[in-house]
Amino acid sequence: MALFFWIIDLLIPVIITGIGLLFTYKPPRRINIFYGYRTARSMASQEAWDTAHSLYGRIMLHAGPPLVAFVVLAKLLIPLPPEELSLVLLSFSFVALIVTIPVVEKRLKMMEEGKQAARRHG
């Protein structure tokens, strides 16, 4: 049973790291409805799509490995029952996933507003 909780607890941080690697080095080239960072803003233009994947990939790549290390250290050092510790660690992992979305969306919004301002003044 202990192995099960190790796998569950490390699954999301490893996926975050994998997404970071994938979107940094092999992002989806064209806007599509199947794969990628898909929001209304990211799909508004090819430039927004490319920017979103570049930024999201870098953020995930910076978040994933420290999250893996955090999970391993927590599993080794925090004396909680495995079920309780898993809930805490999964919560941290989900927060890491969710917090990145407003960061990327804010950058895309700034990019969009910059283009609109340039059109008005140019």
- Domain borders along the chain are 2-29+36-121
CA 25 – CA 31 distance, rounded (Å): 17
User: Can you tell me whether residue 32 is helix, strand or coil?
Assistant: coil
Confidence of residue 1 (pLDDT cuts 50, 70, 90): confident
From residue 43, alpha-carbon distances to 55, 75, 85 in Å are 14, 39, 38
pTM assigned to the model:
0.88
**67-87 residue pLDDT tens:** 999 999 999 999 999 999 999
Tell me the mean pLDDT in the region 102-117.
92
Tell me the mean pLDDT in the region 34-48.
96
More confident residue, 114 or 14: 14
Q: Contact, 27 vs 56, CB < 8 A?
A: no
CA 55 – CA 71 distance, rounded (Å): 24
Percentage of the chain exceeding pLDDT 70: 99
Tell me the mean pLDDT in the region 17-24.
97
Residue 122 has pLDDT above 70, yes or no: no
Confidence of residue 120 (pLDDT cuts 50, 70, 90): confident
Q: What is the mean pLDDT of the chain?
A: 94
